Chains A and B, each alone.
Chain A
Amino acid sequence: MSTQTLDEQYYAQLLQLQQYDFALVELTLFLDTHPNDMQALQQFNQLAQQRRQCAQQFEQQYGPLLQFGQSYSRYPWQWAQQPWPWQV
């Protein structure tokens, strides 16, 4: 089983993904108490879309981030290969 060598790009994209996720968590909590804040809602939707693109690009290159059908996988099955996203 070839252990995948992780390049700089892998960490850069993962960091970008973390930044999107954190901002989305903050905005979700904010919108829970401010349901009619239009600007925050638009920002939330924009970030969600950007996050999806970023995740898609990441998975295209480095394999699935999530499991149970939330991510695609190439042949052969990539989920069992080193490393998992939280191991890096």
Chain B
Amino acid sequence: MNNNQCRVYYPFVGPFDPCPPIRVKTYVVPPNQFIPFQPMNLPQYPLPEALRRGTLWPALFSPYPCPPVGKGGGDY
């Protein structure tokens, strides 16, 4: 993939936060954000591969690479 689909941002941490701060949070930017209108005749995966990967076109594939980070982890 040209750029990593995993982006990070740093929430504001204040002195009065009720819970231990999560300093780094990640989010995924899948390729379909960058393709406004899918062009025709894109290369395709073979069918078994397409079923496993969840899409017919490699250009749109996203493994959702972001593991949860930060102390609490869980939702990110």
Is B56's beta carbon under 8 Å from chain A?
A: yes
Number of interface residues of B (CB under 8 A): 11
Residues in chain A near residue B37, CB distance under 8 A: 33
Given A30-B56, A37-B40, A40-B41, 20 more pairs with CB closer than 8 A = A19-B48, A19-B50, A20-B47, A22-B50, A22-B51, A23-B47, A23-B51, A23-B56, A26-B55, A26-B56, A26-B57, A27-B56, A30-B38, A33-B37, A34-B38, A34-B40, A37-B41, A39-B40, A39-B41, A40-B40
A-B contact pairs, 30 of them (CB 8 A): A15-B48, A18-B51, A19-B47, A19-B48, A19-B50, A19-B51, A20-B47, A22-B47, A22-B50, A22-B51, A22-B56, A23-B47, A23-B50, A23-B51, A23-B56, A26-B50, A26-B55, A26-B56, A27-B56, A30-B38, A30-B56, A33-B37, A33-B38, A34-B38, A34-B40, A37-B40, A39-B40, A39-B41, A40-B40, A40-B41
